Structure 1
Amino acid sequence: MLPHSFLFRFFLLLYLFLSISHADSLPREEGGEDDDSSVSREVFFLDGGPSDVTWVVQITDLHLSSYHPDRADDLKRLLAPALRIVRPSLLLITGDLTDAKSKDRTTTRQDLSEWLQYKQTMEAVAKESGMSLRTFIDIRGNHDKYGVPYVGDKLDFFSNYSISSQFNRLTTVQSICLMGKEWNYVFLGLDDSLEVGLRCPSNLFGHTNDKRLQSLSSELQYWDAHLDGPVTKVVFGHFPMSFIRSSETGQCYENIFARESVSAYLCGHLHAKFSKHLWRHHLIQNTVGARQGVVGEFWEWELGDWKEYKLFRILGIDHGHVSFVDLSLSDLFHPGKGFQTAILVTYPLDSRNMNSMNIKSSDARDDVSALIFSTTPINQVKAKIFDSSRDFELVEELLLHQSYSSSTSCLYRGSLNASKYRHMPPTRFWLQVMAVDIHGNETATELRPFSMDGKPAHLQKTWLEYLVLHVKWDTTYKVLLWGNICFLLLLLFLPKLLTYFIEKNMSYQKWTMSISISSPTCRRRNIFFPLWFLLEGSRDGKVWFSMALYLLYLLMFPWFWGHAASEDGMLSHISIHGWTVSLPGGIRKDSVASLDIMAITLPFMYLVVSPLFLLVYCMFTERSLFNLHSGSKLRCSQKSKSLMPKMARSLQEAADGKNPRVDHNAKALSCKICSGWTRTGLLLASMVVLYINFTLCTYLARAYGAVVVILSPGLLWGPTLLLAYAICSSRLGVGTYSLEPSCSQ
C-alpha cells in the first residue's frame, strides 16, 4: 500500500500538470506582430534664420495627471512663453505624456481625462507660443502604454489624443527632415514601448525587433541618398540604450547609429532624481575580420523630467556640430521679470560631450559661436578663456559680433586664435560666454572645457550613472536570475552528492571527528563547518523534497495569475519566463516582458527564496549542534543515522573528563548553542523574510488584482508553508542525536 505522503505528492504534481496543460490549450498567436516596417515621413523647409545653424527643443516625462492639474498649468505658464522666445524648428516630446497612475500611485491605468488634458494643454501651448502644432513631435513612453492590451484597443488613447495621431504619425518610426539652404537635419523618433501594454511594475524597458531595426537603417540610408548637401542625423526616443532590450537575433540600435553616422540619441525615462548629467559616449569598434577599427560613434544624452524639475533642452546644430544646454524653466523665469536670457554655445564644443570624429573630419574653425535667446536687446557679448593649469587664470577675452538676429534670438560669432589651443589637453582651457543686455543685466554660461582638435575629455562617472547607462540590463538580468537559480540547485543537490561519497567512504567519520575536536584556530575547521552545514541542513528527506518541489514549481509553473493589462481584461499568468497574455479573439502571447518582470523575480528570488532555503538549512544545523552539545553527558542513540558516531563518543569522553582538550571546546560551543539565542535569531530572521514576502505580495495584489495573487500558491503560500514546516520539523531536542541530560555538571 502506498504511503499517504507519496499519494499527496503525486496528486499535487498531477494538479500542477493539469493547470499547465489547460493554459497550453489556449490558441497561440500566429504571426501577430505589429507592422514595425512602416515609417511616417515629413519634410519642413527652413525659411529665414542662419543658413547653417538650427535648433530644436526637447522636453520629456510630463506625467500629466488628473490628480495634479498644476503640471498642465505649468506647461502653459512656462513652456508657452519659452517657446515664443526660443522659436525652435521642432519641439520633441519624448514620452510619458500622462501619468496613468491612481491617486495613491499603487495601481496603473489609462485615464481619458488625462489625455484630454494633454491634448487641450498642448494645443494651448502651440497657440500661445505662435508655433505650428505640426512641429510638435510626441512619442509614447512606458506610462503611455500602461494597461493598453494592444494598439487600437479602446484604452489606446495615444492613437486618438496625441499630437502624432492628429498628423498620422502612429508608426513606430517617425522621420522628420529639416531642409535648409546649405545643410539638412534629420530627426528620427522611435516608439519602443511594449507591444502588449502591461501594468507596472512589468513595464519598465523598451523593446525593439529585427523589423524595426531594418526599417530604421533603411530610413537613415534613404536620407543620405535623397538629400543634396551634408546631413546631420539625430534620433530621439523615450528609453536609454541600456533600457532597450535587443531584438530576437541579438541586434541593437548602437551598431546602426554608429554605422549610419548618427550624431546623437536623445531620451528621457530616468528623471533627474538619478542625475541631471546622464551622458554616455558610444564608440563602436569592429573586432572581427581584416577591417578592424572604429566603425563610428554617437552620444547619448538623457534629459531629466518636466514633472518635477521643469527641465527644458535647447539642442543646436552648427555646421553639423551638435551641442545643447539644459535649463530649468522654474529658474529661468523670475517673478516680475519674465524670461531671463539663455545662452547656447554652438562652437567650440564642450570636450566632455563632443563627437570627435565629426571634428576631425571637418574643416578647422577659428571662431566662437553662441546663440542668445532674450526678450531684452543684447548690448554686448564676450567670450573668456581660462587656463586650468594656472589656477584658471584669464588668458584671452574676445568680443562676439551679431551675425543673425530676430526679435528674440541672435547668433553671435567672434574670431579666435585657434592655433594657441591646438595640441593641448582637452581639459586645460575652459570657455565662458557672457551676455549683457541694455539694462546692464549680465548672464553667463557655466565654465566648460573645449578642444580645437577633437580631443575628448573623459567624464568621471558616479557608480549610479554607470549602473543606469552602462549596464546592459537584458544581459545582466539573465546572469542575475540564472546565477541565483544555479546557486539554489547547488544548495539542494550538492549535499546529496556529498552524502553519497561520505557513506561510501567510512573513513570520513574519523576525519570529521579529528577536525571537530581540533582547536578553533585550526584551518581545517573552516572547511568542515560549511560541509557540515550542507549535510545536516539537507538530512531531513521530507523537508528537502519540499524545497526541491517548490524550486521546481518556480522554474516550470506559473507564479500567480492577474490582470496584466487592463483592470477588466482577461486573466494572465506570470512565470519565470515572463507573462503569458491572452488577448481577445483567442490570441495568446508567450514570454511577454521577460526582461520587465525583473522587478518581480529578482526581489523574490534574492530576498525571499534564497534566504528561505538558507534559513531552513540553518535550523537543521542548529538542531544538530544543540543535540550534540546540550547535555553534560551525551550518548549515541541506537537508532542514530548520524554520519559521525565517533564524534559523539569523543564528546561523551569529554563530558566524562577523559579528554580535557575536547571538553574545553565542547563546553565553549555548548554555551553558545544552548543559550537559546541562536534559535530566537533564526525565528526573527524567518519573520523578516515572511514580512518581505508579504510586502511584495501586497504590492503585486494592488497592481494586478488581490484575489488572484492571494490564491497563488507559488508566491504567497509557498514560502510561508515551507518555513512553518521546517520550523516544526527542526524543533530542538528532536532529530539525529538522542540526549540524556545529566543532573550534575
Structure 2
Amino acid sequence: MSVGIRFPTNLFGHPTDKRIEAVNSELEYWTNHSNVPITKVVFGHFPMSFTTSSEGGQRYESVFARQSISAYLCGHLHAKVSKQLWRHHQMRTEECSSSFWEWELGDWKESRLMRILAIDGGAVSFIDHTLNQPFQTSILITYPTDSRNMNILESKKGPPRNYINVLVFSEEPILNVSAIVFDSHNEFKIVEEMPLLPVASSSSQKPLFHAKWNAKNYKSPSPTRYWLQVIVLDSNGKKTLSERRPFSVEGKIAILHRPWLNRLIFEVEWEDAYKVLLWSNLAFTILLLFIPQVLYHFLKKKSSHQRWALSILTSPVQQRKAWFWLVLFLMEGANSKPFWFSLSLYVLWITQMPWFWGHATSENGEIAQMYISGWSIPFGMANYKLSSPDVMVITLPFLYLVVVPVVVLAYGLFAERAAAYLRYHRRAEDRANTADTTAEAARFLPGSPGPGALMNLSCKSKIKFVLIKFFGGWTRRIILLACLITATIHLKLSSMLMSAYGSTPVALSPPLTWMPILLLSVAAYCTVLPVG
C-alpha cells in the first residue's frame, strides 16, 4: 500500500528495494550500452539526509557510488534554510573509491530559483539565478569547475585540460569576454589575463566562449590557491563580472567551512540520528523517574535522609555541595507517591500507546492514530504502520520541550516545598519558647496573616493572600514561570497539530493535549505551602 501522510510528517523519502533496484538497473544499462564515456546525473526529490533505508537495508548512496554518477540533484528543503546546500559523498569499497556531489536545487514556488546545469567533457557545473527581477547576464564557467562544490575525485579526472570554457547568456550581443586568474597566496594579485573567443556554432547567439592556457602553470597542492573570474562586456557597454571562485586543474576538492545549520540538516543521517535522540531522551526520563526510588530504598529505610538534610541545611551555605541539591531534588521531587505514579504511567503510555488521533492522509479521511513509532493507518481489516521516522518532527519537540520539562519542573516544585519545610524546622528549633516558634510560623509565608486571622480579612485581602500563598518565594516563582513557558510551548505544538490533522480529534486526545497541562497544574497545587 502506498499512502501519503500530510504535513508535517512527510519529512522523509521511503524507497523500496524494488525502486532502488530499478534505479541501479537504469544506471547500469547506460554503462553497458554506450561506446563513449557517460556522465550520469540523477534527479530526485529527497536529500540523502532525509531518505530512509529500504526494507532490505539498501540505500541510494551505495548505488550512486557503484555506478559512478557525477551528481545527485534534489529538492524538498527548498531555499528556506540556505541557497548553498551541497555535500560531497565519498564511498570506499574493496575495489576502489568513488564519489559524487549532492546539490539541493532550492525552489521555484517561493524563491523563484532557476539552476543552469552544464556538462563539459564529464565536468558538471551549475549556476543559480533568482528570477524575481528582470533577467541579467549570466556567466557559467564550465571548465575549470569550482573546487569548493563541483570537483570530483582525481581518479575520475583525466590530464589537466589546456583550455577554459565559459557559457554566457545575455539578451544583448556580447562584445568582449575575458578571464582573469588570481593567486590567493600572493594577496590575490593577477597572474594572467586572457581573452575568450566565441566557439563557432550554428546558433546565432554563440553562448560558448573558449580560450587556451597552460594548465601546468596552475598546479598546486592547495585546491584554493588560484581563483578565476570572467568579465563580460555587452553592446550597451554594461560590464558583468562572474563570481570569483577557486579552481584546481588537478581536480582537488576544497571542503570549506559551512554554517552549522547547513551541516546539521544536509550532512546528518537523520534516520539514525532520530533513534539516538529518541531513546536517549526516553532513557533519561526513565532514569529520572526510578533513581529517586532507589535512593529512597537506601536512605528512607534507615530514616537517615531527613536528619542528613537538616544537618546540611544548618551548615553554612558555602559548605553545601552541588550533589546535595541534586539528591534533595531527586528524592523530594519523587516524594509524592500518587504523583510519581501518575508521571510513570504517563511516560509508559507515550512509549506504548497512541499519542493522539487525527486525519493523517486527507482532511476527510479516516481517523488514524499516531504512536511514537509512526502513524497507524486503518486499511480494510488491518492497520498499517507508516511515517517513521517522519514523526520525529512531532515526537522530538514534544519529548524534549514538554515531557522532560514537565518531569523536571514537577520535581522542582516538590523539592522547593521540602526545602522550605526544612528551613522552617531549622528556624523553629533555634527558638526556645512557643512565642518565638509561633512568630516564626507567621514568617513561613512572607506577608501572611497570623493563625485564625484569615476569617477577618476582606475579600480583596483574601485574594491577595491566596496569590501570595500560591506564588510563595522567589524560587517557587521562577519554577512557576518555567511551567508557564513549558505550557505555552505545549499549546503551540498542540495548535500546530490541530491545524494539520483536525482540531476535533487532536483536541480530544488526552495524552497529547491535556496531560502535560494537567500534571503541571496538579504539581503546582499540591506544593502550595500551608500557613501557621
Residue 704, structure 1, aligned to residue 491, structure 2: no
Residue 604, structure 1, aligned to residue 398, structure 2: yes
Q: Post-superposition shift, 1:579? A: 0.4
- Counterpart CA distance in 1 for 2:305 and 2:493 is 44
Q: TM-score, normalised by structure 1?
A: 0.63
- Counterpart CA distance in 2 for 1:422 and 1:277 is 27
Residue 623, structure 1, aligned to residue 430, structure 2: no
Residue 245, structure 1, aligned to residue 52, structure 2: yes
- Counterpart CA distance in 2 for 1:276 and 1:510 is 62
Residue 308, structure 1, aligned to residue 107, structure 2: no
Q: Per the alignment, in what secondary structure is the counterpart of residue 196 of structure 1? A: coil
Instruction: Pick from 377, 380, 383 the counterpart of residue 588 of structure 1.
Output: 383
Q: Per the alignment, in what secondary structure is the counterpart of residue 497 of structure 1? A: helix
Instruction: Pick from 302, 315, 329 the counterpart of residue 131 of structure 2.
Output: 329
Instruction: Pick from 540, 546, 557 the counterpart of residue 336 of structure 2.
Output: 540
- Counterpart CA distance in 2 for 1:458 and 1:695 is 39
The answer to whether the Cα contact below 8 Å between 1:359 and 1:453 also exists between their aligned partners in 2 is: no
Instruction: Pick from 492, 496, 501 the counterpart of residue 298 of structure 2.
Output: 501
Matches within 5 A, 1:279-678: 279-286=86-93, 291=94, 295-331=97-133, 333=134, 339-357=135-153, 361-405=157-201, 406-505=203-302, 511-522=308-319, 525-583=321-379, 585-590=380-385, 592-630=386-424, 634=428, 652=429, 654-656=430-432, 676-678=473-475
User: CA 1:423–1:684 in 2, change beyond 3 Å: closer, same or farther?
Assistant: closer
Q: Post-superposition shift, 1:214? A: 1.9
- Counterpart CA distance in 1 for 2:304 and 2:130 is 75
Q: Post-superposition shift, 1:669? A: 12
Q: Post-superposition shift, 1:633? A: 5.1
Q: Per the alignment, in what secondary structure is the counterpart of residue 323 of structure 1? A: strand
- Counterpart code for 2:32: A
User: CA 1:359–1:452 in 2, change beyond 3 Å: closer, same or farther?
Assistant: farther
User: CA 1:244–1:505 in 2, change beyond 3 Å: closer, same or farther?
Assistant: same
Q: Post-superposition shift, 1:229? A: 1.0
- Counterpart CA distance in 2 for 1:357 and 1:249 is 30
- Counterpart CA distance in 1 for 2:242 and 2:147 is 15
- Counterpart CA distance in 2 for 1:396 and 1:669 is 84
Q: Per the alignment, in what secondary structure is the counterpart of residue 199 of structure 2? A: strand
- Counterpart CA distance in 2 for 1:533 and 1:240 is 44
- Counterpart CA distance in 1 for 2:83 and 2:525 is 53
Q: Per the alignment, in what secondary structure is the counterpart of residue 454 of structure 1? A: coil
Q: Post-superposition shift, 1:360? A: 5.3
Q: Per the alignment, in what secondary structure is the counterpart of residue 6 of structure 2? A: coil
- Counterpart CA distance in 2 for 1:537 and 1:264 is 55
Task: Give structure 1 stretches of 5+ with no counterpart.
Answer: 1-31, 33-194, 334-338, 635-651, 658-667, 734-738
- Counterpart CA distance in 2 for 1:527 and 1:607 is 25
Q: Post-superposition shift, 1:315? A: 0.7
Q: Per the alignment, in what secondary structure is the counterpart of residue 521 of structure 1? A: helix
Aligned to 1:23: none
Q: Post-superposition shift, 1:594? A: 1.6
The answer to whether the Cα contact below 8 Å between 1:430 and 1:447 also exists between their aligned partners in 2 is: yes
- Counterpart CA distance in 1 for 2:223 and 2:253 is 6
- Counterpart CA distance in 1 for 2:14 and 2:206 is 39
Q: Post-superposition shift, 1:404? A: 3.5
The answer to whether the Cα contact below 8 Å between 2:154 and 2:252 also exists between their aligned partners in 1 is: no
| Greater displacement, 245-254 / 526-535 | 245-254
The answer to whether the Cα contact below 8 Å between 1:351 and 1:455 also exists between their aligned partners in 2 is: yes
Cα deviation per residue 1:560-609 (whole Å; 9 max; x = unaligned)?
Answer: 111111111111111111100123x445311x112111121112111211
- Counterpart code for 1:318: D
Instruction: Pick from 205, 225, 237 the counterpart of residue 12 of structure 2.
Output: 205
Q: Post-superposition shift, 1:230? A: 0.6
User: CA 1:567–1:685 in 2, change beyond 3 Å: closer, same or farther?
Assistant: same
- Counterpart CA distance in 2 for 1:276 and 1:233 is 23
- Counterpart code for 2:408: L
The answer to whether the Cα contact below 8 Å between 1:562 and 1:709 also exists between their aligned partners in 2 is: yes
Cα deviation per residue 1:332-364 (whole Å; 9 max; x = unaligned)?
Answer: x2xxxxx44322111111111233325754133
Aligned to 1:26: none
- Counterpart CA distance in 1 for 2:480 and 2:171 is 69
Q: Per the alignment, in what secondary structure is the counterpart of residue 614 of structure 1? A: helix
Task: Give structure 2 stretches of 5+ with no counterpart.
Answer: 434-442, 447-468
The answer to whether the Cα contact below 8 Å between 1:350 and 1:448 also exists between their aligned partners in 2 is: yes
Instruction: Pick from 229, 237, 259 the counterpart of residue 36 of structure 2.
Output: 229
Cα deviation per residue 1:278-336 (whole Å; 9 max; x = unaligned)?
Answer: 111111224xxxx38x63111111122222332111111011111111112234x2xxx
- Counterpart code for 1:398: M
The answer to whether the Cα contact below 8 Å between 2:6 and 2:500 also exists between their aligned partners in 1 is: yes
Q: Per the alignment, in what secondary structure is the counterpart of residue 412 of structure 1? A: strand
- Counterpart code for 1:475: D
Q: TM-score, normalised by structure 2?
A: 0.88
Q: Per the alignment, in what secondary structure is the counterpart of residue 469 of structure 1? A: helix
Q: Post-superposition shift, 1:721? A: 2.3
- Counterpart CA distance in 1 for 2:25 and 2:367 is 39
**RMSD of aligned alpha carbons:** 2.6
The answer to whether the Cα contact below 8 Å between 1:435 and 1:442 also exists between their aligned partners in 2 is: yes
The answer to whether the Cα contact below 8 Å between 2:105 and 2:115 also exists between their aligned partners in 1 is: yes
Q: Post-superposition shift, 1:713? A: 1.2
Aligned to 1:128: none
- Counterpart CA distance in 2 for 1:626 and 1:433 is 74
- Counterpart code for 1:605: L
- Counterpart CA distance in 2 for 1:394 and 1:330 is 34
Q: Post-superposition shift, 1:506? A: 5.5
- Counterpart code for 2:111: Y
- Counterpart CA distance in 2 for 1:670 and 1:731 is 10
The answer to whether the Cα contact below 8 Å between 1:316 and 1:323 also exists between their aligned partners in 2 is: yes
- Counterpart CA distance in 2 for 1:258 and 1:505 is 65
Q: Per the alignment, in what secondary structure is the counterpart of residue 277 of structure 1? A: coil
Q: Per the alignment, in what secondary structure is the counterpart of residue 231 of structure 1? A: coil
- Counterpart code for 1:302: E
User: CA 1:424–1:615 in 2, change beyond 3 Å: closer, same or farther?
Assistant: closer
The answer to whether the Cα contact below 8 Å between 1:279 and 1:302 also exists between their aligned partners in 2 is: yes
**Equivalent pairs, count:** 500
Cα deviation per residue 1:445-489 (whole Å; 9 max; x = unaligned)?
Answer: 111111111221222211111111111111112222211111110
Cα deviation per residue 1:357-415 (whole Å; 9 max; x = unaligned)?
Answer: 25754133111111222343322222111112222211111122222431334222111
Q: Post-superposition shift, 1:537? A: 0.9
Q: Per the alignment, in what secondary structure is the counterpart of residue 686 of structure 1? A: helix
User: CA 1:503–1:453 in 2, change beyond 3 Å: closer, same or farther?
Assistant: same
- Counterpart CA distance in 1 for 2:431 and 2:17 is 73
